Amino acid sequence: MEEIVPSLRGRKVLLFGRNKTISEEDMSLFLESVGASLADDESEDGIALVVKGRLMNPVEESVCDDFEKRGIPVVEIEAIESYYASTIDRDMLLGSLKIFRNKERIINLLHNDSIDDNLFCEILKLYDWGGKAPFESDENRDVAGSMVSRFYKDIERNHNIEFSPVGPFLVAAESDKKALLEAIAMIPDYEITQRSGDYWMPATLHEALLVNENIPTDILENFARSGDERKVAFAAAHPLLSEETQKYLFSKDEKRILEGLAKNPSLSKKLYETLLEKEDSDVRCMVLKYQPLPASIFSQLHELDDSGKRSVGSNIHLDEESAMKLFDSQEEEILKSLASNENLSSSIYEKIESTGDRDLLRILAANPSVEGSILKRLLRIRDKELYRALAANPSTPKEILENFSKIRDKDIAAALASNPSTPIEILLGYQMDAELSNILKRNEAFGDYIKENIGWQ
């Protein structure tokens, strides 16, 4: 295009086919910038360039061939899009879009792959969603699809997610691009999945944004002071939340919000101490699970109720010394929590293994952080429930999973069907079983394999 453009001054450009990514206004701006004009049809004199758009008919294709034989350049519409994008005056474009809010033009620009990511995000902020979620209108769905196809990290392996409600959700949860997260915050919120039993599993677009460690702090603070209890609770748990806002949320004295603060890895020391003294046992348990344990806790273990003991054993900050002190307490609920805690060292898991307690070993067998050598040793214990836990554990060595597949037992087969580490040839063999086939649909590794190698049936 750089060589063609100088020859267009005072000449005409003929456009065939349809165009979805450069509006009439932007085409006019392009032609005006190079001193050319648009030809009405192929019979006009002075045509210096022919542009092939999309969905051309055979007659138009033939005319293009004739022009090419006469030495007149014929280019794809993408060449115009790319050249136009490279010459855009960003400030002038954004200023024009802010003043006139031409929705068709904004949509066309968002579909233009030649627009760079930063400009795309600024234009996306100007798109009017009409108060509707991304999948409540065709236009909104197409814009959301453009965003997902551009920013979803694994789009090459999973094209189907482009127009799935899950697509924007994943982009919101994973992106580290500030301008994009600012644009997503302006999208009307919508629910992605039905809420699970876990309150802290994000279920809407904005909740996904609130678990993203890169969320802009001004957006985080705005959510923290909104009237939506779930969003406020999610904001309370975010490590970037200011100490001032933490204090403000604490003053609201609402259970879920206090629990969010208890989860916050940047919780202020004063609030930590105050929350630990709260009468509400659920709030105290959240502190015991997500905050570093106070030194005094080891002498007070006998005073805790079962939920408190489980929380202490599940603490995500346990070092080996602290975990060993908890193990030495021999409190049943603490030992069970230690067995399921995914943040411990192998030496602690080995201590739990050495107890020989079958209930503890079953829990240990399900823990994906337990190393393969321990899981192999657990295989010596003849216990169906333990085998089922091993069959579902993604850390179980491949050879063990292969051996389990030879056992004719529905429960073990179901565990294998759910395990993303089960060899694909075993999973493929489960497709003809109606019950196992339903489990396979929830196995992400199997789903990825089908999308990449076979496609949706």
Q: Which residues contact 368 (CB under 8 A, 6 or more apart)?
A: 342, 393, 394, 395
Nearest to 207 by CA among 256, 136, 151, 156: 256
- Calculate the CA 40 to chain-centre distance: 47
pLDDT tens digits, the chain, 457 residues: what are they? Answer: 888 988 999 999 999 987 767 777 778 888 888 899 999 999 999 999 999 988 899 999 999 999 999 999 999 988 888 888 888 889 988 998 999 888 988 998 999 888 999 999 999 999 999 999 999 999 999 999 999 999 998 887 777 789 899 999 999 999 999 999 999 999 999 998 766 678 999 999 999 999 999 999 999 999 999 989 999 999 999 999 999 999 999 999 999 999 999 999 999 999 999 999 999 999 999 999 999 999 999 999 999 999 999 999 999 999 999 999 999 999 999 999 999 999 999 999 999 999 999 999 999 999 999 999 999 999 999 999 999 999 999 999 999 999 999 999 999 999 999 999 999 999 999 999 999 999 998 898 998 888 777 544 4
> Sign of the CA dihedral 72, 73, 77, 82?
negative
In a domain, 80, yes or no: yes
Instruction: Pull the structure tokens for residue 368.
Output: 């994906």
- Calculate the CA 169 to chain-centre distance: 6
Indicate the residue among 87, 107, 130 that finishes a domain. 87
Say yes or no: 73 and 19 in one domain.
yes
Say yes or no: 129 and 166 in one domain.
yes
CA distance 234 to 223: 9
Measure Cα distances from 82 to 2, 5, 114 in Å.
11, 13, 5
Residue range of the domain that includes 416: 382-457
Say yes or no: 122 and 176 in one domain.
yes
CB 435 within 8 A of CB 412: no
CA distance 446 to 456: 12
Say yes or no: 390 and 451 in one domain.
yes
In a domain, 32, yes or no: yes
Indicate the residue among 184, 212, 232 that finishes a domain. 184
* pTM of the complete model beyond 0.85: no
What pLDDT score was predicted for residue 325?
A: 96
What pLDDT score was predicted for residue 54?
A: 82
In a domain, 367, yes or no: no
Determine the straight-line distance between the first and last CA of the chain, rounded to whole angstroms.
43
Instruction: Pull the structure tokens for residue 335.
Output: 């030992």
In a domain, 363, yes or no: no
In a domain, 19, yes or no: yes
In a domain, 265, yes or no: no
What pLDDT score was predicted for residue 196?
A: 66
Residues 60-85: tens digit of each pLDDT: 999 999 999 999 999 998 888 888 88
Say yes or no: 9 and 64 in one domain.
yes
Indicate the residue among 163, 184, 205 that finishes a domain. 184
CATH of the domain at 9: 3.40.50.10190
CA distance 292 to 290: 7
CB 401 within 8 A of CB 416: yes
The DSSP code sequence of 107-160 is HHHHT-TTS-HHHHHHHHTT---TT--TTSSHHHHHHHHHHHHHH-TTTTT-GG
Say yes or no: 78 and 130 in one domain.
no
In a domain, 269, yes or no: no
In a domain, 321, yes or no: no
Strands 37-38 and 12-16: parallel
Residues 2-47: tens digit of each pLDDT: 889 889 999 999 999 877 677 777 788 888 888 999 999 999 999 9
What pLDDT score was predicted for residue 20?
A: 65
Measure Cα distances from 377 to 47, 87, 125, 261 in Å.
79, 66, 56, 41
Instruction: State how many domains the chain has.
Output: 3
